[in-house]
Amino acid sequence: MAEIVIENLYKSFDTKDGTVEALKNVNLSIESGDIYGIIGMSGAGKSTLVRCINFLEVPTKGRVLINGKSLGDYTSRELRKQREDIGMIFQHFNLLMQKNVLENVCFPLYIQGKSKKDAKKRAKELLDIVGLGDRTGAFPAQLSGGQKQRVAIARALASDPKILLCDEATSALDPQTTSSILALLKDINERFNITIVIITHQMSVVREICSHVAIVKGGEVAEQGTVEEIFTHP
Ligand code: ADP
Ligand code: ADP
């Protein structure tokens, strides 16, 4: 079975103006080690889908299975552990602005209960991997967008995730920096066999790095397949 399986997933939100159907009958499977793109315009339902994969939203109908297990199969304690297996990076990096680069990466390691010494050692290794080993003392405000995203990637890797969810992670970056971040993600995918799910509105990102893609429109998967199949389609 695929690492991520989404079956007949529906998610609706009740608002004062009525019910919003954010996701309608979504079916996807993402194999371990894949780089999978989920592409769609703003409002298509991408963030809701990510939140369902991360077990932050309870499906209205259907289910999400990560390695064969769905939300209901976990106790709340196991769920916390499960969420550690899924790293996330975001468009606006979400770094702690008052902490330096090293401390930003140490943060999840402290939460895991690592000692200060062990956390710093591991954080330094992770920053070397993302090419920022020489900026450990810098503060986020002193870094470029690409460098901030590298710190966020190092932080996401701190919990040794099996899956990395990238939510519009290159949308705030120029094309050249985008390419360098995508190259880093590819490197991480190959070195650590981490499954990467890329949520984006940018076709170029999917073409550059993904092997499979799903096109989401109005809460539904309009098309899915290999990037070759989808983009050579008449
Ligand atoms: P995307 O990430 O593709 O921009 P979203 O998943 O954020 O799309 O949103 C899909 C639709 O669901 C939108 O119409 C949005 O307004 C709606 N939506 C998302 N989250 C909520 C929520 N918590 N409450 C009400 N509506 C929501
Ligand atoms: P994105 O950057 O993907 O478009 P948004 O900024 O629209 O995401 O949404 C940020 C958060 O707000 C998400 O968690 C989403 O579920 C929630 N959200 C989106 N639309 C609504 C809405 N209409 N009402 C309440 N919450 C919403």
Which ligand 1 atom is at minimum distance from the Cα of 49?
A: 6
> Given this model, what pLDDT does residue 101 score?
98
Say if ligand 2 is within 6 A of residue 27 CB: no
Predicted TM-score (pTM) of this structure: 0.89
42 within ligand 2 shell (Cβ under 6 A): yes
CB count in 10 Å sphere of residue 157: 22
CB of residue 76 inside a 6 A radius of ligand 2: no
Q: What is the pLDDT of residue 148?
A: 98
CB of 13 sitting under 6 A from ligand 1 = yes
Which phi and psi angles does 129 have, rounded to 5°? -60, -40
pLDDT of the chain, 234 residues: tens digit per residue? 899 999 999 999 999 999 999 999 999 999 999 999 999 999 999 999 999 999 999 999 999 999 999 988 999 888 888 888 999 999 999 999 999 999 999 999 999 999 999 999 999 999 999 999 999 999 999 999 999 999 999 999 999 999 999 999 999 999 999 999 999 999 999 999 999 999 999 999 999 999 999 999 999 999 999 999 998 766
Looking at the CA of 23, name the nearest ligand.
1
pLDDT of residue 233: 64
Please state the atom number of ligand 2 nearest to the C-alpha of residue 48: 16
Q: ipTM value of the model?
A: 0.71
Pocket lining: 14 vs ligand 2, CB cutoff 6 Å:
no
Which residues are within 8 A (CB) of 163 and not within 5 positions of it... i.e. 6 or more apart?
3, 4, 53, 66, 85, 86, 87, 194, 195, 196, 197
DSSP for the chain? Answer: --SEEEEEEEEEEEETTEEEEEEEEEEEEE-TT-EEEEE--TTSSHHHHHHHHTT-S--SEEEEEETTB-GGGS-HHHHHHHHHTEEEEETT----TTS-HHHHHHHHHHHTT--HHHHHHHHHHHHHHTT-TT-TT--GGGS-HHHHHHHHHHHHHTT--SEEEEESTTTTS-HHHHHHHHHHHHHHHHHH--EEEEEES-HHHHHHH-SEEEEEETTEEEEEEEHHHHHS--
